[in-house]
Amino acid sequence: MSISSGLIQVALPVPLYRLFDYRASFPLPAIGCRVKVPFGPQLLVGVVTAHPETSDLPESKLKPITEILDQTPLFDKTLWHLLRWAADYYLHPEGEVLHHALPILLRQGEAALSKPIPYWCLTEDGESAESLLKRAPKQQLAIRLLADGPLPAAELREQGVDSPVLKNLEQKGFILPYDIRAQLQNWHEQFLLHEDDAHYLNEEQAAALSTIKFAENARPFLLEGVTGSGKTEIYLQLIQDVLSKGRQVLLLVPEIGLTPQLLRRFRRRFHAPILTLHSAMNDRERLDTWLACKNGEAAVLIGTRSAVFTPFKSLGLIIVDEEHDTSLKQQEGFRYHGRDLAIMRARQEQIPIILGSATPSFESLHNALTGRFHHLTLKKRAGNAQTASQHVLDVKHVPLNAGISPQLLQLMEQELRNGNQVMLFLNRRGYAPALLCHDCGWVASCPHCDAYYTWHQSDNRLHCHHCDHIRAVPHTCPECHSHQLVSAGVGTEQLGAFLQQHFPAYKTIRIDRDNTRRKGELEQHLSAIRQNEYQILIGTQMLAKGHHFPDVTLVGILDVDAALYSTDFRATERLAQLYVQVAGRAGRASKPGRVILQTHHPENALLQDLVNNGYHHFARTSLQERKALSLPPYSYQAVLKADAIHRDFVSQFMEQAATICSGYGAPDLSVIGPITPLMEKRAGRFRMIILLQCNSRKHLQHYLHQLIPAINQITTHHSLRWHLDVDPVDIM
Q: Do the Cβ atoms of 586 and 385 come closer than 8 Å?
A: no
Binding pattern to ligand ADP, positions 175-204, x when CB under 6 A? ------------------------xxxx--
Cβ at position 232, least distance to ligand ADP in Å: 3
Q: CB 565 → ligand ADP: shortest distance, Å? A: 32
Q: Which does 383 bind (CB under 5 to 8 A by kind): Zn ion, ligand ADP, none?
A: ligand ADP
- 3's CB contacts (< 8 A; 6+ apart) are none
Interface with ligand ADP includes 382 (CB under 6 A)? yes
Using the minimum distance from each CB to ligand ADP, give the nearer residue, 25 or 261: 261
Task: Pick between residue 66 and residue 240 the one whose CB is nearest to ligand ADP.
Answer: 240
147 binds, among ligand ADP, Zn ion, none (CB under 5 to 8 A by kind): none
- Nearest approach, Cβ of residue 227 and ligand ADP (Å): 5
Q: How far is the CB of 354 from ligand ADP (least distance, A)?
A: 12
Peptide bond into 674 cis (omega under 30): yes
| Residue range at the interface with ligand ADP (CB under 6 A); choices 15-23, 225-233, 309-317, 659-667 | 225-233
232 binds ligand ADP (CB under 6 A): yes
Which does residue 477 touch among ligand ADP, Zn ion, none (CB within 5 to 8 A, set by kind)?
Answer: Zn ion
What value, to the nearest 5°, has the Cα angle with vertex 289 and ends 286 and 291? 110
CA dist 71 and 34 (Å) reads 9
Q: How far is the CB of 391 from ligand ADP (least distance, A)?
A: 24
Footprint of Zn ion (CB under 5 A): 437, 439-440, 442, 446, 448-449, 464, 466-467, 469, 477, 479-480, 482
State the minimum distance, in angstroms, from the CB of residue 262 to ligand ADP: 8
Alpha-carbon dihedral sign for residues 710, 713, 716, 720: positive
Beta strand 248-252 with 300-303: parallel, antiparallel or unpaired? Answer: parallel
Shortest distance, position 450 Cβ to Zn ion, whole Å: 9
Report the half-sphere exposure of 242 (CA within 13 A, side-chain side): 26
Maximum separation of any 2 CA atoms in the chain, in Å: 88
Find which of ligand ADP, Zn ion, none residue 480 binds, CB within 5 to 8 Å per kind.
Zn ion
Does position 227 bind ligand ADP by CB under 6 A? yes
Interaction between residue 383 and ligand ADP (CB under 6 A): yes
Compute CA distances 372 → 235, 245, 250, whole Å: 21, 28, 22
**Residue 536 or 543 with smaller CB distance to ligand ADP:** 543
* From Zn ion, ligand ADP, none, interface partner of 227 (C-beta below 5 to 8 A by class): ligand ADP
Q: How far, in Å, are 37, 38, 44, 135, 687 from residue 41 at the CA level?
A: 11, 7, 10, 57, 33
CA distance 19 to 17: 7
- Write down the least CB distance from residue 236 to ligand ADP, Å: 8
Identify whether the C-beta of residue 93 lies closer than 8 Å to the C-beta of residue 87: yes
Q: Is 231 in the site for ligand ADP (CB under 6 A)?
A: yes
Residues 462, 470: Cα–Cα separation, whole Å: 6
Shortest Å distance, C-beta 714 to ligand ADP = 49
Radius of gyration (C-alpha) of the chain in whole angstroms? 28
Q: How many residues bind ligand ADP (CB under 6 A)?
A: 15
254 binds ligand ADP (CB under 6 A): no
Check residue 260 for interaction with ligand ADP (CB under 6 A): no
Element (H, E) at 356: strand 353-357
φ, ψ dihedrals at 168, nearest 5°: -60, -45
How far apart CA 255 and CA 302 sit, in angstroms, is: 10
Pick from 9, 49, 139, 205: which binds ligand ADP (CB under 6 A)? Answer: 205
CB 342, min distance to Zn ion, A:
35
Q: How far apart are CA 596 and CA 621, in angstroms?
A: 22
Q: Tell me if 598 contacts ligand ADP by CB under 6 A.
A: no
Select from ligand ADP, Zn ion, none the partner in contact with residue 231, using the beta carbon and a kind-dependent cut-off of 5 to 8 Å: ligand ADP
Between 103 and 228, CB nearer to ligand ADP: 228
Amino acid at position 88, single letter: D
Rounded Cα distance between 401 and 399, Å, is 7
Give me the torsion for CA of 177, 182, 188, 194, rounded to 10°: -40
The strand pairing partners of 161, in sequence order, are none
Q: Does 233 bind ligand ADP (CB under 6 A)?
A: yes
Query: Is 323 in contact with 356 (CB distance < 8 Å)?
Result: yes
Q: Pick between residue 232 and residue 310 the one whose CB is nearest to ligand ADP.
A: 232
Binding mask 484-503 for ligand ADP (x = CB under 6 A): --------------------
Instruction: Compute the Cα dihedral for 114, 72, 336, 352 and give only its sign.
Output: negative
Which residue(s) pair with 539 in the sheet?
Answer: 425, 511
As measured in angstroms, the least distance from the Cβ of 383 to ligand ADP is 4
Residues 183, 189, 190, 194, CA torsion sign: positive
**Residues of the shown chain interacting with ligand ADP in the complex, contacts defined by CB under 6 A:** 199-202, 205, 225, 227-233, 382-383
